[in-house]
Amino acid sequence: MAGTALAELLIRREQLRAAGRRLVLTNGVFDLLHVGHVQYLEQARALGDCLFIALNSDESVRRLKGPSRPIVGQEDRATVLAALRWVNAVTIFDQSTAEAVVTELRPDVYVKGADYAGADGTPDLQRLPEARIALSYGADVHLIRYQPGHSTSALIARIISSHQATAE
């Protein structure tokens, strides 16, 4: 199994805390990994000593993005993410949000993309309930700037367009 059980991550979390090391946590779908994801994860890891990723399960992705997603299954997505040098662990969750993972792990730093910012540039706590939890116990919340032109949706659209052009 590519993902690490949350129970094992809790043990690793306590070891990090005992050693005075900062845990960074982010979560997402990470379907069709691309340069925007890689840059985001590199920046996230730079905010602490260890980076854990909470990955939406296939069922969770279908609820959030529709029946045609994910393109890549959860085990493959977890394997690819875990292979990145900035990533220390990946866990898979079934809920629509990673609130339970944040509550359990209590990371020192919680990270998401700046597309979750409100009009004032701070985290939109309605759209990002995980940030509300992190802030409640004193964690830092960072929003990382979105890389224009680097999104899974744009990549899927380009693939479809390219395939349609070659089929004609």
Kindly tell me if the per-residue pLDDT of 1 is higher than 60. Answer: no
Q: What is the pLDDT of residue 155?
A: 65
Kindly tell me if the per-residue pLDDT of 153 is higher than 90. Answer: no
Total domain count, the chain: 1
- Indicate whether 81 belongs to any domain: yes
Q: What is the pLDDT of residue 146?
A: 72
- Indicate whether 42 belongs to any domain: yes
User: Domain range holding 62?
Assistant: 6-167
Kindly tell me if the per-residue pLDDT of 160 is higher than 70. Answer: no
- Indicate whether 151 belongs to any domain: yes
- Indicate whether 82 belongs to any domain: yes
pLDDT band at 159 (very low <50, low <70, confident <90, very high): low
- For residues 29 and 152, the answer to whether their CB atoms sit within 8 Å is yes
Full 3-state SS string of the chain: CCCCCHHHHHHHHHHHHHCCCCEEEEEECCCCCCHHHHHHHHHHHCCCCEEEEEEECHHHHHHHHCCCCCCCCHHHHHHHHHCCCCCCEEEEECCCCCHHHHHHHCCCEEEEEHHHECCCCCECCCCCHHHHHHHHCCCEEEEECCCCCCCHHHHHHHHHHHHHHHHC
CATH number, domain of 117, equals 3.40.50.620
pLDDT 10s digits, 10-59: 999 999 999 999 999 999 999 988 888 999 999 999 999 999 999 999 99
pLDDT band at 150 (very low <50, low <70, confident <90, very high): low
pLDDT 10s digits, 74-128: 999 999 999 999 999 999 999 999 999 999 999 999 999 988 888 898 998 999 9
- For residues 131 and 123, the answer to whether their CB atoms sit within 8 Å is yes
- Indicate whether 30 belongs to any domain: yes
- Indicate whether 1 belongs to any domain: no
Q: What is the pLDDT of residue 124?
A: 87
